[in-house]
Structure 1
Amino acid sequence: MVRIIDVAKRANVSTATVSRVLSSPHTVREETMGRVLEAIKDLDYHPNILARQLRTLESKTVIVVVPDISNPFFSKVLRGIEYVAAANGYQVLLKDTTNDLELESGYVDLLRQKKADGMIFLTVMNSELVNIVENQYPVVLACEYIEGSSIPTVSIDNISAARKATEYLIQLGHRQIASISGPTTSVLGQDRLKGFYQALAQYDVTVDPVLIQEGDFTYESGFNVMNKLLALNQLPTGVFAANDEMALGAIKAIKSKHLRVPDDISVIGFDNIKFSTICEPELTTIAQPAFEIGNKAMDLLFKLMKNKKIIRSQYILEDKLIIRNSCVKKV
């Protein structure tokens, strides 16, 4: 088996220099680093990661807990996380809770077992557990927040964004507006519904409570809830869905009843996932800076893991209304 001392001899450097090339290459002269990397390649040397972890008490791994990996929105957030992680020599371990509280608690135990140096949550179910862990380990929350918590968070203002989406429908002349919300047990579901109500109040629009229906952020729930709305005597002329997947499900349901989007019913979504530009018609939606959210979350976690000072604990990034073809002026 090739050892680090063999690489050092081949490159005519010390073993400490080889270690620096592997862990902190920016501290090594370019010419020296070239010799070491060439020796590593020639000898096919593979460093003993476990031994290095035992010496430094670092796993060089971070865990990202996702509520539903099938949701395409999270892929861009993950890219942002991995970009910063890789630049700092860390690997990302992805854990999908499938919205299961027990799984979330089990993944937190991985921190206690020293199998990771820090954790990023992309939404949280058990806020009490996370608040306890935050006092013991580096933890960051992305995409939402926990009321009254000091955990560093990165997100958009979901209330303001939902208000903006609903306001757009109102400005197009719609007054019979339905809402397909996310789960009202979740912060995102609550905040986006708040924004919807705020827009209605601002423009003195009264909506029948039967038009306010709860989904679960999945395509299937958007389809099923929209079918319930289509069974009403008076149909909505506009629909605000709290994410794009539910909006796409709603469009499918509308078309299945031989109605047209947007001529008969306008639909607006939230998240700006890739499918929003592929569907017909292309979906008007709220765009989140998903990559930047992941990027900033990992940057904050890295600072926590290195005991660096964080200037502020909450970062609100800017969202944007993307106008496409799924909404028209009410005639």
Structure 2
Amino acid sequence: MSGRVRIVDVASLAGVSTATVSRALSAPETVGRATRDRVMEAVRATGYRVNGAARDLRQQRARSLLILAPNLANTFFSRIFSAIQEEASAAGLAVQISDSRIGREKLVSLGYDGRADGIVLLDGAIDPDVVNGWRLPMIQLCEWNEAYRAPRIGIDNAAAARMAVEHLADLCHRSVLHVSGPDGNVLAVTRREGFSDGVAARGIAGTTLAGDFTLEAGACAARRWAELRPRPTGVFCASDECALGFISECAALGFGVPDDVSVVGFDDIDFAHRFLPALTTIRQPREALGRAAAKALVNLLGLAQVADPGDPAIAPTIVVRSSTAPPPTDDSRVATITLD
């Protein structure tokens, strides 16, 4: 056929109405097989293509997913964003990324401005009244809030923290320190609980210092650790950035890692294995987490090509590198330190 092929041309060739053609293409299960076959044969014969933009306008679809995350500069998010982008693209969806700390007024508007069909949320600190008012399909990823009316995907953070304690205990550390995440953060709370359960189960001494997920918090914790008597020989930080800050400050103070203290992080960010010493850490499978969240959201939007197989098992693992070792045998070793 010459010229632009219209839906009426397909309907005429198939001997059906334009409404039947539309149903056969958008909801084939609602049309009898024989009729559906005639329509598809007419589509192939005419070379008809669906006007996606017009269809989405009629259905009020943005063909887009929105990722909301706190602190977009955080290196932890990079692989998650990339995996979500790949899965969304395969489903014909674009991806937008926004910082979740944009203010209450802008957050409230997200559910009504038509910019996205669904949300992947990586922040559990937003007011539940705001989140539950969006009325969009949503998946909570990594962080969560029990008050949000949305399914969540993530690892078992308490079990992961216990892995860190188990590793240090297996190396014969009898006194360990946990540098916690920020107060009130659900990840920090859960990892702290896992740490407490782990030291209790192994019968070793455990101390917790308040902190957050930043390099600066790790450096501050190292200075406080240096003042302790006796000093714990093992340290578990609630994030890799915190752990790297701890290690670098130890070097500045004259302590060696792992000669004087073993350090474990959490996340396995991209450069953890390139640090000196390479960081022992809890690996979060960030690509698997991003893909699982995107697939779950596509399924909620009714765009999946196959039935939802259910949540995959996403388990953390510990990656042992050179920042951990058995504790020093000579407890009398004292490094020269300078404290602010």
Classify the TM-score, shorter chain: 0.7 to 0.9
Instruction: Kindly report which structure 2 residues correspond to 1:124-143, keeping only aligned pairs within 5 A, or say none.
Output: 124-126=124-126, 128-129=128-129, 132-133=132-133, 136-143=135-142
Matching residue of 2:299: 303
The match for 2:85 is 82
Give the structure-2-normalised TM-score: 0.78
Structure 1 residue aligned with 2:13: none
1:232 to 228, 234, 241: 228
Q: Out of 63, 67, 70, which is 1:64 matched to? A: 67
Deviations, residues 126-175 of structure 1 (Å, cap 9, x unaligned): 252355236x2201101133236551111000000001111111111112
CA distance in 1, matches of 2:94, 2:276: 38
Distance 1:281 1:28 in 2: 61
| Letter in structure 1 aligned against 2:181 | G
Name which of 57, 63, 73 aligns with 1:54: 57
Go from structure 1 to structure 2 and tell me whether the alpha carbon gap of 1:28 and 1:198 turns closer, same or farther (over 3 Å shift): farther
User: CA offset at residue 110 of structure 1?
Assistant: 1.7
Aligned equivalents of 2:185, 2:275: Cα separation in 1? 27
The residue that corresponds to 1:322 in the other structure is 319
Q: Is contact 2:67-2:97 (8 Å) kept? A: yes
2:255 equivalent to 1:256: no
Matching residue of 2:151:
152
CA contact (8 A) 1:127 1:146 kept: no
Q: Take 1:260 and 1:253, find their aligned partners in 2: how far apart are those partners? A: 10
Instruction: Tell me the amino acid that sits aligned with residue 173 of structure 2.
Output: H
Q: Per chain length, whose mean CA-contact separation is higher, i.e. which structure has more relative contact order (CA < 8 Å, sep 6+)?
A: 1
Instruction: Name the structure where helix makes up a greater proportion of residues.
Output: 1
Structure 1 distance, partners of 2:276, 2:67, is 33
Structure 2: 5+ residue stretches without partners: 11-21, 27-38, 330-340
Distance 2:284 2:238 in 1: 13
Q: Verify the 8 A CA contact 1:152 1:300 in the aligned structure 2.
A: no
Residues 251, 298 of structure 1: alpha-carbon distance in 2 compared, 3 angstrom cutoff: same
On the 8 A contact 2:140/2:150 being kept in 1, the answer is: yes
TM-score, normalised relative to structure 1:
0.80
Is this contact kept in 2: 1:154–1:315, CA < 8 A? Answer: no
Note if contact 2:179-2:235 (Cα within 8 Å) is conserved in structure 1. yes
**1:279 and 2:282 equivalent?**
no
1:118 counterpart = 2:114: no
Counterpart CA distance in 2 for 1:315 and 1:106 is 33
Distance in 1 of aligned mates of 2:274 and 2:212: 22
Q: What does 1:179-190 correspond to in 2, within 5 Å? A: 179-190=178-189
Alignment-mate amino acid for residue 236 of structure 1: P
Tell me the number of residue pairs that the alignment of Structure 1 and Structure 2 aligns: 299
* 1:236 positional shift: 2.2
1:199 aligns with 2:195: no
User: What is the SS of the residue equivalent to 2:96?
Assistant: strand
